[in-house]
Amino acid sequence: MADPLGYRRILDRAFLELTPVANLPTFGVPIIALAFLSTAPQRIYRRLHYRLTERLLQVVRGWLFHVDTVVPLVRVQHIDVTRGPLEKMFGVATLVVHTAGTHNSIVTLPGLKPERAAEIRDIIREHVRTDFA
């Protein structure tokens, strides 16, 4: 059975070998991907800010698309602290705040130290308890 994409490989080889970008897919793409993977997490983390007051949690993130989320603590339904395999490897955790409502009802705060995430969770939990008491 003939390879249905065989003609594409032949054309790619014929045209790419004659151009200056013949080795771009082989060497250039992995180098660009490595550069992106080594710089993107730091840039994302630097653009993430939060503020916790007695009445609200504010999470600000983004550079190109700036998102400023304000969560009144009276709207909090429950709080999670999650740690996936990569987060465990780097010693960080994510605070996940679930609120009442449907639009933006889940607010995440990644990149926290596990102790700090648990501390914020306990502060919010205590506030939620006093609201219903």
SS (H, E, C) 20-49: CCCCHHHHHHHHHHHHHHHHHHHHHHHCCE
pLDDT value for 33: 87
Residue-level pLDDT, tens digit, the chain, 133 residues = 555 666 677 766 666 665 666 666 777 778 888 888 888 777 777 888 999 998 999 999 887 888 999 999 988 999 999 999 989 998 999 999 999 877 778 999 998 999 999 999 999 998 877 766 5
- What strand order describes the sheet that includes 93-99? 76-82, 93-99, 106-112
pLDDT value for 57: 93
Q: Are 129 and 119 in contact (CB under 8 A)?
A: no
**CATH of the domain spanning 47-132, picked from 3.90.950.20, 2.30.29.30, 3.40.50.10810, 2.60.40.10:** 2.30.29.30
pLDDT value for 102: 76
Q: What is the pTM of this model?
A: 0.68
Q: Which amino acid is at 70?
A: V
Domain boundaries, the chain: 6-42, 47-132
pLDDT value for 88: 94
- The tally of CA atoms less than 13 A away on the side-chain side of residue 68 is 1
